[in-house]
Structure 1
Amino acid sequence: NNQSIWLKIKSPFGEEQYIPRIIDITAGNLEQNKNKSRRMKCCLSILLTLLTMMILALSILAIIIPILLLRRKSSTPPLSPIIVTNSSNNTTTVVTRTRTTTIACIYPNLISPFGTCVNIMIDSKNCGQVNNVCPRNSTCSAGICNNVPGIQLDNAKIVFSSATNGSADDQMYNITLPWNITLYNTTTNKVIVTSDGVLCLGNCSTSYTESRLPSRIFDGATAFPFWDDLYIYANTSQGIYYQTEGDIPQRTLIFEYYMSHYVELNQFYHFQVTFFENFPGIVQYKYFDATDHGDTCTIGVQASKTGPFMMYSYDQPNSVQINMTIYFDTIRGTFNLSNIN
């Protein structure tokens, strides 16, 4: 089982000689060499696998670490603003990380501890003075907590407020709105409201004597939520207000009227007129209070002094009930009644 292999070498004297080299090539040694080769291949495969896994892990970490750092940064609460109130000139300075803003309030609006303006004449949480909260089921009128009806809008813009402007009789006020409203074929962002319960999208009138519709006194598109001889009394929360709610394209524009009858201080008339951005041509009337239940008023809409028009009532007894709503669709020429949700 041995095989000789001759190796050529030189002797110290320069002579070439051949000497035998004995190599053991028995079957056992061959198998042992094969096993060594297999083990080397296995180890090499394991090393390559580990190297691949390390590269993959490093790649994943390179993606995850920036995300975690960004999330940690975004979850860090912002610095609270520093609010500095100057009661002498009724201003507030709000200091944040990026800017400084000074807020000025015009009386009867005063600075609240939160750096906002609050109307101490009608705000039930700041009645008469900041942080004076009216008892439950009462309202703030002329800076005094009482049980008379209060304004429903919570962030209203003042058209006319008796708390600051005094009394009003047979007056009208021009308003430029933040977006267009539609009644019949008239679309505009300029309206006129009157102290006699009328809202005009065109020419208007201060006439206080209600009549059947169409009325020749009003030339253009007009809403008559409660046309009557109404009166706004001083030193109360009575007045005319409006407010925009919601987001584009589903905003609503709400006008709120709160007043009494002429020479009838204890008669209250409180209602809202709502226009819908995503439903042009529809107007809604809501009634919170009407002492005489509509006995001497006109309710409806008209496109012009010659029509078309829709009249719900004219001097009709018990035509107005508390929590009643009327929807007028001036595009289809229909209207219906329902209750406030």
Structure 2
Amino acid sequence: MALPATTKEYFWTKIGAIENLSSRERRLPHVKSHEVLVKIHAVSLQYRDLMFGLGIYPVSLDHLIPCSDMAGEIISVGEDAGSEWKKGDRVCANFAADHIAGEISPEIQNTSYGGPIHGVLTQYKAFRPHSLVRIPEHLSFEEASTLPCAALSAYNALTGPSPVKGGDTVLILGTGGVSIHGLQFSLASGATVIATSSSDEKLKIATKLGAKHVINYNKTPEWHEKVLELTNGRGVDHVLEIGGQGTLEKSAKSIRFGGWIHAIGLIGGSGDMPADVMFNTIWKSCFIRGIMVGSVAQFKNMNRLLALHPEATRPVIDKVFPFEEARQAFEYLQSQSSCRKDCD
């Protein structure tokens, strides 16, 4: 079968508004001998994609193709691309193409899709083989497309220097993608989960997924006090902190002595660091660890966990849009992004 000559893709004509997201059909660039060509079947939107489009994150590329998270099928393998991949393999691309293993660096950071380099909101794209990871057999393309950023960030957080273990208590802020994956991974590891949200309906979902305790922080503004009550004053072992400055102070009050706060997002806003964050960090000898997604090696390890617990860790998909409605998908994401205030 002849390879496609063109691809349809989305790009930002200029930064600042969703209305500037446009589509075009262009000639598919020549696939180099060390690359593989992938037909992209599904793309998952992240709040980061919206931040680039709205100019909250700086963009250095003209006509940036958005999005970092995809799942697809290899349709061609270059003659110098090695023997690991073959036509028909189902794959995801790692968030940062060159983050193979170990620590991240500025150079690796600059290979992140949908920001420093063009993203994956296109029908066909060439990838370097080392950036690809095989999709677990039990997952659909739509489910697998949620893995590169949201799932891997949660996995990296919970399997870091002090991995979550049976008997731990994990505090999950909000019910977004990272949070739900974190809830599932915590439960698969034998931990107890406390989940927060501003929505009772979303808390019902968290309960159905296995959260033992839920807190509506609109109804309980001093939610850290409830967390301490639920843990008999001890505090939690881990916090998946996606709120940033808006929630970090209460996360620091919720953590146990020597516990881990995993800083993943800023959707609760930014600003000056509350003084109580530093006080509690010092007083409790706790750790605040920044999470920038993860490596190919971690991705492969995560997929083994997914295969071991296929139903307990199955990605939860809110809504699916056809490729032709990508702008509507961004608008829907933005409509949910009052989460900058309520961390959902």
TM range (shorter): under 0.3
**What's the TM-score once normalised by structure 1's chain length?**
0.25
If you compute each CA radius of gyration, which structure gives the higher value, 1 or 2?
1
**Higher helix residue share:** 2
**Higher strand residue share:** 1
